Structure 1
């Protein structure tokens, strides 16, 4: 592969952004006595809520590639910290759903809110068509990474 190609430059830039976000997440985790996996779990749960996806412990374990015991320990820890709660599914009382507590959302916004605001301002500087292109690119990257994780 040509290390100087525009496509490779994008790969390197995307990697740099990913590293920075990962470091930011690790800093958040350290400040709040969390493990980086705890932060990833909260992100998955927030995304599930936004998408209307029922988040069960089994679903969360699959997202994080954790076994049942690891998922239980994670959920217990987050619940003990007051960051999530378990609720019985009203449609199927045998099923437990996980929901992010307001405390977790407030902690997240207090820490990540400024950078999210800056990213939104940066995005607002682009035309709709440019944002569509960025969205299409990032969607394709996400699909590629997802496919690599399953092989």
Structure 2
């Protein structure tokens, strides 16, 4: 359970770090989550519709519109025509928002990358698999152990 408790502590610290960013920049925590989702889509080369963004954040249509209006007024996002389908409106994060995020989160990201350099490929694969499994379990709401395992010390 030590690793599970450590992961919980990491999640709390990351949440606090994100909250500090939101507070310093006059944002709501949901604004930060939206910007992260948009940056992830940008990095993956994917277009993000307002509907897809709202669904990913657990927002209804009105909440998504309010979020995007707020971020657009702040110059953090823009609505543009899709590349693959010009009839579709997609949401993009602005370069200014990326720079703002990089200036605040960059040192933490750099420190994390530096820590990972101390692990070999097999260890990094194990960390990746563990974190992805926890992420999937949280996304699915799966909180019961797989059959054949106990809830004892991992």
Aligned equivalent of 2:119: 126
1:7-66: CA deviations, max 9, x gaps? x11111111000000000000000000000000000001111122322000000000010
1:96 to 69, 74, 89: 89
**Partner Cα distance (2:107, 2:115) in 1:** 12
Counterpart pick for 1:62 among 49, 55, 66 = 55
Q: Say what the alpha-carbon RMSD is for the aligned residues.
A: 1.1
Match in the other structure for 1:15: 8
SS at 2:90 equivalent: strand
Deviation at 1:127, TM superposition (A): 1.1
TM-score normalised according to structure 1 size: 0.90
Higher helix share: 1
1:30: which partner in 2? 23
Which residue of 135, 139, 145 corresponds with 1:146?
Answer: 139
Corresponding residue SS for 1:47: helix
Per chain length, whose mean CA-contact separation is higher, i.e. which structure has more relative contact order (CA < 8 Å, sep 6+)?
A: 2
Structure-to-structure mapping, 1:74-89, within 5 angstroms: 74-89=67-82
Q: How many residues end up aligned between the 2 structures?
A: 142
In structure 2, the partner of 1:114 is 107
CA contact (8 A) 2:77 2:93 kept: yes
Matched residues in 2 for 1:93 and 1:48: separation?
Answer: 18
CA drift at 1:145: 0.8
Using the TM superposition, give the Cα deviation of residue 76 of structure 1 relative to its aligned residue in structure 2, in angstroms: 0.6
SS at match of 2:63: helix
Q: After the TM superposition, which segments of 4 or more aligned residues of structure 1 sit over 4 Å from their partners?
A: none
Contact kept in structure 1, 2:47 and 2:82, CA below 8 Å:
no
